[in-house]
């Protein structure tokens, strides 16, 4: 499961995406000026432009279940509980 999102990191991610769009739109804009304008770290912006994933998505490929599989498992367990069955570790 990806890390929970807090409002500050969501806002920062949105500003990073806006800065990336601005850099692609204006070739004369520097990374440093874009970072200052959008109030984000210059190194974070450079890392993202170099292809580095955000922290909450960086480890997704190492997870045992995909997000879809995990949500299906949660649905199945809650359905078992709603019908009065206790999900056992072996069953899950």
Contacts with 82 (C-beta within 8 Å, 6 or more apart), sequence order: none
Task: For residue 40, count CB atoms less than 10 angstroms from its CB and return exposed for 0-12, middle for 13-18, buried for 19 or more.
Answer: buried
Whether residue 16 contacts residue 44, with contact meaning beta carbons closer than 8 Å, is answered with yes
Q: What is the mean pLDDT of residues 5-9?
A: 78
Q: How high is the mean pLDDT of the chain?
A: 87
User: b/e for 19-34, b at 16 or more Cβ within 10 A?
Assistant: bbeebeeeeeeeeeeb
- 76 & 89 share domain: yes
- 66 & 88 share domain: yes
How many structural domains does the chain have?
2
Its domain, for residue 67, covers 60-92
pTM: 0.62
**CATH number of the domain to which 4 belongs:** 1.10.10
Q: What is the mean pLDDT of residues 68-87?
A: 90
């Amino acid at each position: 499961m990806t890390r929970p999102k807090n409002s500050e990191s969501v806002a920062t991610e949105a500003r990073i995406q806006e800065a990336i769009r601005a850099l692609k739109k204006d070739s004369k804009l520097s990374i440093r000026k874009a970072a200052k304008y959008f109030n984000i770290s210059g190194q974070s912006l450079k890392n993202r432009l170099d292809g580095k994933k955000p922290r909450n998505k960086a480890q997704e490929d190492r997870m045992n279940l995909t997000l879809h599989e995990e949500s299906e498992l949660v649905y199945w367990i809650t359905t078992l509980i709603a019908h009065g069955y206790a999900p056992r570790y072996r069953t899950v």
